[in-house]
Copies of this chain bind each other. A is one copy, B any other.
Amino acid sequence: MSDQDLNERNDDQTEGGAPSGLIGASDPDSPTDPSDTYDGLHGDVVDTIVDAIEADNVQILRELVAPLHFSDAADLIERLSPEQRKTLLEATSDVLDADLFAELDETVRDEVVDIVGLDAVAEVVAELETDDAVEIVDELEDHEQQKVLDAIPAAERTLIEEGLSFEEDTAGRLMQRAVMTVPQFWSVGETIDFMREIAEQDEWETPNVFYDIVVVDPRHKPVGTIPLSTLLQHKRPVPVSDIMHERMKLIPVDMDQEEVAFLFRQRDLVSAPVVGDEGRLVGMITIDDVVDIIDEEAEEDILALGGVREDDLYSATLDTTKQRFSWLFVNLLTAILASVVIGFFQGTIEQVVALAVLMPIVASMGGNAGTQTLTVAVRALATKELTATNALRQIGKEILVGGVNGVVFAVLMGGVAWAWFASPEIGLVIAMAMIVNMIVAGLFGAIIPIALDRRGIDPAVASSVFLTTVTDVVGFLVFLGLGAVFLL
């Protein structure tokens, strides 16, 4: 790998190799203010590009798109409508950077694959780092996969095929295969010389950017890591074995990506060696991939709590509709269950219609109080802050919080109901129901996610449907039941 190639991935330099095109290559000179600060892809840039697309002005389009950083170009493509995407890609795919492919949302990437064709995809894949290449190939249909793999040089193809053999969402999929390694009997000087030497050869096994050097034994087992800054702060004769960190963290190739992310966060790592069978080094995970995972996991939790299975921003309307249907269907069943409870009290409601007017308040307050508890618990489980050690204490606390707020809101709402319907009995009934339902909300808001988590079920996905069933049923049952007792 030449110096220019080494710089290329850092994409921010003005000198160095011309960025690789998405299909083939060619790049205009794009001078920008070096002290330019960054604030994302500007809306007016997007507007200008959209105008050029609508006007089908290929020349201007190419001039506008070529200087974009690949992340911004990916954002641009995502924001366009499918028709606009097609026009843009047909006009500019040869000036776009291969790396933008890895930055695209999965749904959008599918579309782009269809537009640019499999030959172009094969060229892109051959240029990417193994982890990105594997991700893209993995998403293709089986027959497409074979076609793309066939078009890739043998050595890279082997690495990608190996990558595909690892389970999805494991360390094996996150790692890049190229690792800077040195034997344990080398010195700092030898290590630096080796890096200079290898940089001059066109070795595609060399990582583009790296932060730690892995010291390995003759059987390629890691025995230590050295941060580059440590290496640079020692004299040439110092043996690497004197400055390496022997207590590095090794990541088994089948470790779940969530665990990998937790480890990186916990230990403030920038890179970590991945080991396979018998502890042999097979790759390296770097922080940039982990940041994506952290983002992804947080997104999954946010969406799951909102009843959405996956980010469907770019999905077609029909796909989105189908995807959201299942959650709504479950919700319909629980809503019907709550209605059945109300149905038991039809006679009571006919006589005291005020109960029908007020009953949603009790259920709603329980649902909201429970959701607060649930949200804190789900988040604390995800960050491993809520564990067996403090679970009972937290449940106790939530019951207490529910009870105290229950009493406060019982007084408030009891007063309002009394005044509204000029009936102290109605005030009393809603007050009692409020206290009961908010204590129940605190209890179940904490217990449901903890119980699901113990059973290995993602608490973010399933908790809220159980919770609202409980708070609705209890809310209606207690309020109408007390109403039947005290008001008839």
Contacts and interface: CB of A to CB of B under 8 A. Distances in A.
A276 B414 CA distance: 57
A59 interface: no
B307 A305 contact: no
22 contacts: A3-B234, A3-B243, A14-B246, A36-B247, A37-B249, A43-B387, A43-B389, A192-B232, A228-B228, A264-B291, A270-B287, A291-B291, A294-B298, A302-B378, A307-B372, A308-B376, A311-B376, A320-B401, A325-B405, A329-B409, A336-B361, A339-B357
Interface in A335-381: 335-336, 338-339, 342-343, 346, 349-350, 353-354, 356-361, 363-365, 368-369, 371-372, 374-376, 378-380
A91 to B, nearest CB: 18
Contact of A252 (B37, B232, B397): B37
A234 B356 contact: no
Nearest to A34: B246
A81 B324 CA distance: 41
Q: Pick the most buried of A15, A105, A384: most chain B CB atoms within 10 A of its CB.
A: A15
A249 B38 contact: yes
A408 interface: yes
Contacts of A244: 13
Contacts of A72: 266
B374 A7 contact: no
A335 B360 contact: yes
- How many residues of A sit at the interface, in one of the four size bands? 35 or more
Contact of A295 (B249, B287, B298): B298
A177 to B, nearest CB: 17
Interface in A147-165: none
Contacts of A305: 302, 305-306, 375
A27 to B, nearest CB: 13
Contact of A331 (B14, B328, B368): B368
A218 interface: no
A230 interface: yes
A451 interface: no
Contacts of A380: 311, 313
Q: Would you call the interface of chain A mostly helix, strand, loop, or mixed? A: helix
B233 A195 contact: yes
Contacts of A12: 245-249, 267
A363 B361 contact: no
A268 B249 contact: no
Q: Pick the most buried of A12, A247, A311, A393: most chain B CB atoms within 10 A of its CB.
A: A247
Interface stretch (A110-118, A120-128, A133-141, A255-263): A255-263
Interface in A217-251: 221, 223-224, 227-235, 242-251
A180 B230 CA distance: 13
Q: Pick the most buried of A228, A242, A279, A394: most chain B CB atoms within 10 A of its CB.
A: A228
Contact of A365 (B195, B298, B328, B408): B328
Given A249-B37, A302-B375, A346 B357 contact: yes
Contacts of A246: 12-15, 34
Interface string A34-76: 1111111101001100100000000000000000010110010
A259 B244 CA distance: 35
Contact of A376 (B233, B245, B252, B313): B313
